[in-house]
């Protein structure tokens, strides 16, 4: 069974146009391996927000069991278009901070949600608040590409609840990127 690092390397050659960046532009793969390995051999519901050209969907599909359900949300069809008819994925086109997003997932509980959407603080917080009730017990909600952590750290810490913990994974020194930060909420 391939590691997430090995799987992600398939997509590194496409990072030159801004996608497939979880292990190239950013330093997330080791953290994702640690955070997501407990779900690897389970049939889960997985949601990624912000799909670009779909390379990460392919990576997650290969990483998790084939009986897992991979959902995706993006705000446009230009780049993700080829995946819209692919029955391996359930893709919805909606702005991540739009309250209608809840209607797409009315009865679904997610084991993993990754927000790689707009990267705007207000959208990250609004989306978390919209989807936190869709988290399965024992699940993890991860926000990628958190910019200005020093300025906005408390905004993310205030999202802590009685039933989930918050882990800030600060990788800015790895590649000298201001937004190489993950926030992980464990339910």
pLDDT tens digits, 151-177: 999 999 888 776 789 999 999 999 999
Task: Work out the average pLDDT over 114-135.
Answer: 96
Q: What is the pLDDT of residue 162?
A: 67
- And the tokens for 167? 């882990």
CATH code, domain carrying 84: 3.40.50.150
Residues of the domain holding 144: 4-186
Which is higher by pLDDT, 81 or 48? 48
Task: Work out the average pLDDT over 122-142.
Answer: 96
Count how many domains the chain has.
1
The pTM of this model reads 0.93
Q: How far is CA 177 from the centre of its chain?
A: 19
pLDDT tens digits, 77-116: 888 888 898 999 999 999 999 999 999 999 999 999 999 9
């Amino acid at each position: 069974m391939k590691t997430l690092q090995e799987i992600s390397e398939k997509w590194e050659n496409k990072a030159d146009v801004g996608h497939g960046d979880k292990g190239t532009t950013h330093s997330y793969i080791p953290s994702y391996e640690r955070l997501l390995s407990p779900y690897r051999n389970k049939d889960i519901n997985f949601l990624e927000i912000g799909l670009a050209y779909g390379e990460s969907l392919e990576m997650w599909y290969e990483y998790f069991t084939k009986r897992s359900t991979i959902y995706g949300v993006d705000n446009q069809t230009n780049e993700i278009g080829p995946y819209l008819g692919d029955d391996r994925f359930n893709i919805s086109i909606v702005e991540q901070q739009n309250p209608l997003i809840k209607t797409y997932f009315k009865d679904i509980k997610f084991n993993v949600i990754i927000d790689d959407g707009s990267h705007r603080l207000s959208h990250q917080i609004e989306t978390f608040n919209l989807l936190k009730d869709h988290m399965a017990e024992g699940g993890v909600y991860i926000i990628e590409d958190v910019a200005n952590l020093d300025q906005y750290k408390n905004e993310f810490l205030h999202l802590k609840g009685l039933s989930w913990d918050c882990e800030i994974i600060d990788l800015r020194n790895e590649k000298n990127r201001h937004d190489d930060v993950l926030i992980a909420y464990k339910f």
